[in-house]
Amino acid sequence: MDFIIMDSILFTLQEVPVTVWDFCMFVLISGFFFFVAKLVKKGIEKAPIFKQKPPYLLSRLSYYVIFLLGIYIALTNLGINLTGIAVVAGALGVGIGFGLQSVFSNFVSGIILLAEKKVRPGDHIQLESGDTGTVLEVNIRTTVVHTLDGRKVIVPNTEMISKRVANWTLGEGLHRLRIPFAVERTMKREKVETLAVEAAKGISSLAKDPEVWLIRLTETTQEFELVVWARCVKKRLSSFSTTDAFLTALQEVFEKEGIVITSGTRMPSPPLPLQEV
């Protein structure tokens, strides 16, 4: 009785009858290769031969290659002529190519991102939309970014390729910040500059000696920019911005000397998280 059920024909594909047994073998073979692909991917990610980060491209591509190979073997086991399927797929592709154009573009963009390694998991980036956060995943079609306000933004890979993306952790991780502030016109410039430099040197993320530029004079105020080189966080996302830290330090030093930061002070964007030391 069991053999009769397993030999029952479920459907016909390309004039090839597919029995219950054939379908079960297809599921088992596909599942086996899917499981192997997962194991290989995790094995590459945890391999001790890679001292720092594992090759993200290798782990992803190995997963897709093994899984697609399993699908190919499973279909061949059914007796399906894959050449015929390719012809049908090509015909369908002509009809729906325009509809899938964006999907294909994202797929190609994902391959480029994985190959170039300009944006990798763990990088701190700012998108053209203004969202700032840490890259969680770079997939074939999309990139997942964990923003500073706790949101997970799914970005199509075409945007990562075609639009401007600031990668704060690419290279040495040093970034120049220009922090504007203003004081009363009656204050001596030399004293303001000396106090501003003193305040900046108390911030742990400072990488180079700070500078103070006078950028504008009005009838009542002097407008300056505190120019600093800071290090961006790489390991942990923090909402405590470097800009906030420098402005707070300025305010504390100026208050001790009786200097008032006027309403002309502007808050630049985007804020960067401090590096832990």
Is the pTM value of this prediction over 0.85?
no
Indicate if the alpha-carbon torsion angle 118, 121, 123, 125 is positive or negative: positive
Kindly indicate the confidence band of residue 238, based on its pLDDT and cuts at 50, 70 and 90: very low
What's the CA gap between 51 and 90, in Å, rounded? 44
DSSP designation for 15? T
Distance CA 128, CA 142 (A): 16
Q: How much is the pLDDT for 236?
A: 43
pLDDT tier at 65 (50, 70, 90 boundaries)? confident
Burial letters for 20-29: b for 16+ Cβ neighbours within 10 Å, e otherwise? eebeeebeeb
For residue 54, what are the CA distances in angstroms to 51, 114, 117, 196, 197?
8, 12, 12, 43, 41
CA atoms within 13 A on the CB side of 52: 2
For residue 6, what pLDDT band results from cuts at 50, 70 and 90? low
Tokens of residue 1, six digits? 């009785």
Reported as a single tens digit per residue, the pLDDT across 147-187 is 888 889 999 999 888 888 888 777 666 777 888 888 888 88
Task: Give tens-digit pLDDT for 80-125.
Answer: 766 655 555 555 555 555 555 677 788 788 888 877 778 888 888 8
For the chain, give the mean pLDDT.
76
What is the Cα–Cα distance from 117 to 55, expressed in whole angstroms? Answer: 9
Domains and CATH numbers, the chain: 2-96 (no CATH), 119-167 (2.30.30.60), 174-256 (3.30.70.100)
What are 242's two structure tokens? 């470097």
Task: Report the candidate in 184, 177, 249 with the shortest Cα–Cα distance to residue 213.
Answer: 177
